[in-house]
A and B are shown apart, each in its own frame.
Chain A
Amino acid sequence: MKEEIIRVKNLVKKFGSFTANDNLTFDVYKGEVFGFLGANGAGKTTAIRILSGLSSPTSGKLNVAGFDVYTETEKIKKNIGYMSQKFSLYEDLTVAENIRFYAGIYGISPKRRKEKMGELLKKLEMEKAKNKLIAGLPLGWKQKLAFSVAVFHEPKIVFLDEPTGGVDPVTRRKFWDMIYEAANDGITVFVTTHYMDEAEYCDRVSIMDAGKIEALDTPAKLKEKYNAKDMDEVFLRIARASPNPSEGGGQETITNE
């Protein structure tokens, strides 16, 4: 039985006269890896910021992890993890200090933290970097670490906003291994990306264009429907079919206030 953990109905978000999210309706099921695809400026970041409680919607009904987005924002925040395209660990703190800080904010006991941190650093093969400043680590390490910190408190859902931007394919692949692992642990993963090969890794994907969701299904069904050999082709067909494919391009900066 599929259980919805995110329910979105008629989500609209406007910035002045610009509509960033135009009547979005979708559900995300518990435990799945949900890909949120779209070109730059399609409105992905806006939607993910609303779902994680950083931005409030203009209208629509939204429920995340069983809580209402308008009235129970702080309860939602206890149950989610978030990692943005903007790198978000403290560069002037060490690996261990960053983990200690975020674990502390989420109310994880020092004993539990130490156990988990040991396991985590071992898994990431970063035991030697434990007392190194984040500033000195390679980008790939930082991203893996940022993800680990985002799920350290074992949230129900983790929101990843273009988590693999700017890293090499091997690191990206490893990053996705971590995403799968989190999904296996029962964490629902909501991930935005514009790498179409990553879309193949998702259980279901939605494709956004100019603020609207144009398609939503499993990668296999989408390929069948659009008669395409891979997701790249699916994406191009959808973008091309859209009446004004590039409208809103470059507007993403507005939403990143």
Chain B
Amino acid sequence: MKTIKYLLQKEFLQIFRNKTMLPMIIGVPLMQMLILVFAATYDLKKIDMVVVDYDLSSASRELIAKFDGIPFYNVTSIVPDEQFGEEMMLTDEADAVLVIPANMERELVRENEQKLQLLVNAIDGNTAQLIYSYSARIFGGFNQNLIAEWRGIPNLTPPNEIKITESYWFNNELDYKWYMAPGILAILVTIIGMFMSGMNLVREKEIGTIEQLNVTPIRKHHFIIGKLVPFWIIALFDLAFGLFIAWLVFNLPVVGSLWLLFGFAGLYLLGVLGLGLFISTVADTQQQVMFISFFFMMIFILMGGIFTPVESMPEWAQTFNHLNPIYYFMKIMRNILLKGSGFFDLLEEFFSLVVLGIIFLSLAIWRYRKTT
């Protein structure tokens, strides 16, 4: 125990004497929460729409007004020819082009049916789908109004029609920031834990002090604990700090228990720090640690479901995620914060993290050798 005390004392002295350390500890969470959460959003803020109106009827004007009246639709111009519309799409001036055919109004009345064309810029498939489905609903509403008007009956829902009303659970207003923030926090904790612990150990290799430690009777697990605990504390501090910012800036709800959240974070970090230390026992220089850690981080983060739901990944990717600590932690963060999940709802995640933690820590202790 005493050995650990001396090790920790030394590490903290070095950490707080390091000029880049404090800005990192404070700056990284601040930047990630304030910039990434706002920037990484799928929310549709603005759709630039160009309308090609061949009809020029009162119905077509009404339809255009309907779009224009919706805050995030911005009907930039009404052009007389499809070609103009396509050109504007090419130059990125339009996200969507709506083509209203000639005689829309008349055909509608006569044949009770009319086809509209909607061209959507689908470079980003996700956005394109959103634009399409939003627009489809607007057409739907427009349709009902028209029918009601011309038949001269009030706009009543027929008795035998099923009407769907939505209610979104756990994130009522579908605020994307609430979805992103827990994910970004998970990444933050991972970066701090994995990079800092890895860099620290390998730095002792680079400057040669590790040799001096290796000729002492220091026990291997004492050494690992001494290297692990400081960054465990710092990462947990950063999680608290990041959560505070999220709560302050975008009212991130904390539905579940904070104790549970930090308990899970502590468990998760043991594994992540173990992995970081393991990498640094294999590597010889800080550059190597950076590259290897970066490689793992990229895969873990992108596969872990920060941007794309894991459930829609191919089978093999979902299988891989059983080995991905970030996947579990991201799920835990979102479920506790937004949904209020309790410990027993997260049993599978708990045991998975325990197993991964044991594996990564054992690897680190096994691979760290005092005698080569």
Residue positions of A touching B, CB distance < 8 A: 52-56, 73-75, 77-78, 80-82, 84, 86-93, 97, 100-102, 104-107, 159, 257
Contacts and interface: CB of A to CB of B under 8 A. Distances in A.
22 contacts: A53-B215, A54-B215, A54-B372, A55-B371, A56-B372, A73-B370, A75-B217, A80-B215, A84-B208, A86-B208, A90-B14, A92-B13, A92-B18, A97-B10, A100-B6, A100-B9, A102-B212, A102-B216, A105-B3, A105-B218, A107-B2, A257-B372
B133 interface: no
Interface string B1-44: 01101110110011001100000000000000000000000000
Interface in B206-243: 207-209, 211-218
Contacts of B13: 92-93, 97
B371 A93 contact: no
Contacts of B370: 53-54, 73
A122 B44 CA distance: 73
B230 to A, nearest CB: 14
A104 B371 contact: no
A105 B211 contact: no
B17 A78 contact: no
Contacts of A78: 217
A53 B217 CA distance: 10
A88 B208 contact: yes
A56 B371 CA distance: 6
A63 to B, nearest CB: 16
A82 B212 contact: yes
A201 to B, nearest CB: 24
Contacts of A80: 215
Contacts of A97: 10, 13
Contact of B371 (A73, A89, A100, A105): A73
Contacts of B2: 104, 107
A104 B209 contact: no
A7 B218 CA distance: 25
Contacts of B5: 104
B218 A84 contact: no
Contacts of B10: 90, 93, 97, 101
Interface string B183-212: 000000000000000000000000111011
Given A53-B370, A88-B208, A104-B2, A82 B14 contact: no
Contacts of B216: 77, 102, 105-106
B21 to A, nearest CB: 11
Contact of B6 (A84, A86, A90, A105): A105
Interface string B263-285: 00000000000000000000000
Given A55-B371, A92-B18, A104-B5, A74 B217 contact: yes
